[in-house]
Structure 1
């Protein structure tokens, strides 16, 4: 199936890029619903799936709104107001979704679900139709829980990848023009004489169903597909795989921790090097041969210095290295 999005000069002038936390939520959650998972993200999925089971996120609101394939609720991906919106800003936009949009999305979910329309809506979908404001509070609360479990510990690494893609393509626009960049987004995306064609795409992207311009969103978890959102009067959105996503989960090479140890001390440098994957105090103490109390003290100092972040997952707290710490270790 092919679909096309026509452009006027004004549409091309309004084309922009944005990094969206919510696109990472929906694409990563969909990936986790695949029992095998994408081999590209196997390392990440192996860490996250047990946390999701412990938190009881299976069979919840996101399960209802993000099927394993096909249509997913459009209100989960509001239009970012800037190039780098926060999760809080996007959750606020979800809570402010128009009731008629929420009801239309529920109807589309029921109409397109595998096996046909089938029985009526589930209790959750029924609540979204009847009391969207109350239901959206529950949806966004579950998104916050999922974020802390699955994405927040890795966000510095993911955001670095996505921002690098945006900056690269913005530079390409300046050097070669928008048409060349649109042609290089994905093998299924093709620009030809004022129309952006999507080949072998199940999703619809037409100017009649959306507003002016185009919003291009790099994602870490959509690979190998592109996803779209067309909801008037918002600009259409095209979520595409970011450049370099194949290296996202590779261990970060640290030339040596000796220089960092000279400033931070050997134990803190060792902890930073160990945090290539998020870990708890207990795990770090075991892996580094340090006492749990000592690790806790060091982590507090590193967190205060902006070198690690802490994210609660159930009864545990996971610590993750920040982009600043990555730069220190690889300098």
Structure 2
């Protein structure tokens, strides 16, 4: 069990952040053992030309990776360029320390720092950057959901909803990591950073016991991040709201940004925003700003309206996704 001990100041400094570099790092597990990640196989099949020798060497058989590739985000919505620049400027001794902590003896292919950095940068541009807007929308929607859970039900309920491997017995957050040595980490006034991930299957923490308190977890909605298409609203609901708004209400079974919805449904962003505001003003949706995005989610009234429309005999909102 990994235990994060939160002092009074830490308990009010539990924060969420999105880290593109952490997503890149966690995606290396998919490259190494694709059979364990069937949800991401369509993405993997579209992979361009990358330095797989280096990329595969960066993770262990357990899927663990060096800490410097999963830094604690300094801002809620970090940019890859900023995170990568910080990694590029790390002292060589820090990189060697993290490699040795993970591997013992550093693999020969990882001793050429310029090749490692080039492999990571190319991999980002080829494999992740073209899909990053969609990934970020899923991650931001997850954060909006967790924030609402914490505000309404408290920190303990929010943490337990992330994973059954997480416990909270104030002031200790416990995380069960298979194969990791037990340790107790004092947050020391630096708070706890929670980072959702499309590629995480469960939870992940830093390898270094002295690293800042950081917990990476599997984001809600990650299973549909590579899918395109639209969800059809129940016919009875469409008769009242119109098909477009019924579809949007059905689409929001999971929180999402207007940009993400527009991309999935093929409706323009401006039109989506107009319809979403109308649904929000009617009490069927709630909205929350997160960084540059506004994330929408169905209210209890919206959930009830969709469910009741299905129960009245219309077709259930079923996905008509076309995998890309």
Aligned counterpart, 2:221: 244
Q: Could you say which residue in structure 1 is the equivalent of 2:44? A: 45
Give the ranges of 4+ consecutive aligned residues of structure 1 lying more than 6 Å apart after TM superposition: none
One of 169, 188, 194 as aligned partner of 2:165 = 188
Deviation per residue, 1:84-128 (Å, 9 max, x gap): 0010011012123243322211212333xxxxxxxx54434445x
Task: Give the match for residue 124 of structure 2.
Answer: 147
* Deviation for aligned residue 1:32: 1.6
Q: Compute the RMSD of aligned alpha carbons.
A: 2.6
Distance change in 2, residues 1:73/1:144 (3 Å)? same
Which residues of 2 match residues 1-331 of structure 1 at below 5 A? 2-48=1-47, 51=48, 55-60=49-54, 62-111=55-104, 121-127=106-112, 135=113, 137-203=114-180, 206-208=183-185, 212-223=190-201, 225-229=202-206, 231=208, 235-253=212-230, 323=260, 325-326=262-263, 329-330=266-267, 331=272
CA–CA separation in structure 1 for the residues paired with 2:130 and 2:37:
20
Contact residue 110 and residue 116 of structure 2 kept, 8 A: no
Unaligned runs of 5+ in 2: 233-258, 273-324
* Cα shift at 1:179: 2.1
Contact 1:161–1:242 (CA under 8 A) maintained in structure 2: yes
Instruction: Say which SS state the counterpart of residue 229 (structure 2) adopts.
Output: coil
TM-score (norm 2): 0.66
Q: Distance in 1 between matches of 2:95 and 2:177?
A: 28
Q: Is the 8 A contact 2:6 2:186 kept in 1?
A: no
Q: What stretches of structure 1 of length at least 5 have no aligned partner?
A: 112-119, 128-134, 256-321
- With 77-86 and 241-250 compared, the bigger mean Cα shift is at 241-250
For 2:181 and 2:82, the matched residues in 1 are separated by: 27
Query: How has the CA–CA distance of structure 1 residues 125 and 328 changed in structure 2, closer, same or farther, with 3 Å as cutoff?
Result: closer
Q: Secondary structure at the match of 2:65?
A: coil
